[in-house]
Amino acid sequence: MATSQEPVIVGFLCNWCSYAGADSAGTGRMVQPTNVRIIRVPCSGRVNPRFILRAFQRGADGVLVSGCHPNDCHYSTGNFFARRRLLLLKRYLEYLGIEPARFETHWVSASEGQKWAEVVRSMAERVKALGPSPKLPSLL
């Protein structure tokens, strides 16, 4: 949280690709930061933009949404809908005064444990550089 040294990143991971990808990073014993708190969702299309704002509201320093690569969605098109929505959301958050780097979207497949570790490492670095999130209550 804002008071601790280590930033907290809330990660919404799709069940079929990214969650399995994070799992394979773990079973592959890849070294990765422990900043991400994972929430498993059926599909990146399940992520309501409200989830993201709620995470920030409750003190998350960063939010990460990760799903299957485009065209690889378990439900065929879920991530395409998510992509449009999150594109719009990213600009909207920036407009409201939340640093855009605090919110990221990535595509990580089940076999990309290496990529997952890299995504977590680089995002944790960026969020750490930003410092603790001002938290919405004090931001506004």
91 binds another protein (CB under 8 A): yes
111 binds another protein (CB under 8 A): no
74 binds another protein (CB under 8 A): no
* Site residue total, another protein (CB under 8 A): 40
81 binds another protein (CB under 8 A): yes
As a whole number of angstroms, the distance between CA 73 and CA 18 comes to 11
Least distance CB 34 / another protein (angstroms)? 20
Q: What are phi and psi of 21, to 5 degrees?
A: -65, -40
> Residue 125: CB partners within 8 Å, gap ≥ 6?
none
**CA 140 from chain center: how many Å?**
23
Considering only 2, 57, 72, 121, the residue that binds another protein (CB under 8 A) is: 57
> Residue 29: CB partners within 8 Å, gap ≥ 6?
none
The residue among 6 and 83 lying less far from another protein, judged by its C-beta, is 83
Burial class (CB in 10 A: 0-12, 13-18, 19+), 52: buried
Q: Catalog residues that contact another protein under the rule CB under 8 A.
A: 49-50, 53-54, 57, 70-71, 77, 80-81, 83-92, 94-99, 101, 104-107, 122-123, 126, 134-137, 139-140
